Amino acid sequence: MIVPIKQIITKAKAGKYAVGAFNTSNLEITMAIIRAAVKQKSPVIIQTSESAIGYSNLQTLFSIMTNVGNTIGKSVPIAIHLDHGKHTKIVKDCINVGYNSVHMDASEKDYATNVRLSKQMAKLAHNKKIWIQAELGSILGKEGMVKLETGEINMKDLMTDPIQARDFVERTKVDTLAISVGTIHGHFKGVERVDQPRLKKIRELVNIPLVLHGGSGLSPQTFRKAIKNGVSVINIDTNLRLAFRKALKSTISKESNIIDPRKILNPSTEAMQVEVEKTIKIFGSNNKA
**Active-site residue among 83, 105, 161, 237?**
83
Q: Which amino acid is at 159?
A: M
Active site residue 161: no
DSSP the chain: -B--HHHHHHHHHHHT--EEEEE--SHHHHHHHHHHHHHHT--EEEEE-HHHHHHS-HHHHHHHHHHHHHTTTTTS-EEEEEEEE-SHHHHHHHHHHT-SEEEE--TTS-HHHHHHHHHHHHHHHHHTT-EEEEEES--B-HHHHHHHHHTSS-HHHHSPPHHHHHHHHHHH--SEEEE-SS-BSS--TT-----HHHHHHHHHH--SPEEE---TT--HHHHHHHHHTTEEEEEE-HHHHHHHHHHHHHHHHH-TT---HHHHHHHHHHHHHHHHHHHHHHHT-TT--
Strand pairing partners for 79?
45
Q: For residues 93 and 282, give the distance between their C-alpha atoms in angstroms, rounded to a whole number.
A: 34
145 touches 187 (CB < 8 A): no
Residue 234: name the closest of 188, 173, 282 by CA: 282
Strand pairing partners for 85?
104
Catalytic residues: 83
